[in-house]
């Protein structure tokens, strides 16, 4: 009898879904599929924005948004500290979007801040980035 109970337990444990996570493609800026008949991307734009932030923006802005990314060391001026409530209050979402699209050069800020003009065609991803940046201010 005891054997049986143990066996049931083992079978139940094996039934668990333990798929490994998908490999990350690691290609920021890669073209997204938009073939004929492609509906709104099922993969959330927020996910895409998150991935982009972590692979591209975090290099300078830091994964915690404080501007301490590995590539920020030699920058002058340094990237903004997104967790600063005074800064959060001083900019509008529109200004943030404009800076992301045009880069620092396009808005009179440091040219070290690269623009992402291709996001003009992916407003949901752009919105996602703004959400991430705003999120750093809500700690």
* Residues near ligand HEC, by CB under 6 A: 52, 56-57, 59-61, 71, 75, 77, 79-80, 91, 96, 99-100, 104, 109-110, 112-114, 116, 129, 133
Q: Which residue has the tokens 């734009």?
A: 45
Minimum Å gap between C-beta 78 and ligand HEC is 6
Say if residues 128 and 116 touch (Cβ distance below 8 Å).
Answer: no
For ligand HEC, the closer of residues 41 and 98 by Cβ is: 98
For ligand HEC, the closer of residues 38 and 46 by Cβ is: 46
For ligand HEC, the closer of residues 99 and 122 by Cβ is: 99
Minimum Å gap between C-beta 56 and ligand HEC is 5
What whole-number distance in Å separates Cα of residue 3 and Cα of residue 8? Answer: 9
Say if residues 34 and 25 touch (Cβ distance below 8 Å).
Answer: no
In the three-class reduction of DSSP (H, G, I as helix; E, B as strand; rest coil), residue 80 is classed as: coil
CA dihedral sign of residues 43, 45, 46, 47: positive
Minimum Å gap between C-beta 55 and ligand HEC is 9
What's the first-to-final CA gap in the chain, in angstroms?
54
Minimum Å gap between C-beta 129 and ligand HEC is 4
């Amino acid at each position: 009898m005891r054997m049986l109970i143990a066996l049931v337990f083992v079978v139940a444990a094996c039934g668990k879904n333990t798929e490994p996570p998908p490999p990350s493609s690691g290609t920021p800026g890669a073209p997204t599929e938009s073939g004929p008949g492609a509906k709104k991307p099922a993969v959330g734009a927020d996910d895409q924005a998150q991935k982009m932030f972590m692979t591209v923006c975090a290099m300078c802005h830091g994964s915690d948004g404080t501007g301490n990314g590995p590539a920020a060391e030699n920058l002058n001026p340094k990237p903004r500290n997104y967790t600063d409530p005074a800064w959060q209050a001083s900019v509008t979402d529109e200004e943030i979007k404009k800076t992301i699209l045009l880069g620092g050069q396009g808005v009179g800020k440091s040219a070290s801040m690269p623009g992402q003009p291709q996001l003009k065609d992916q407003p949901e991803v752009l919105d996602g980035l703004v959400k991430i940046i705003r999120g750093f201010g809500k700690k």
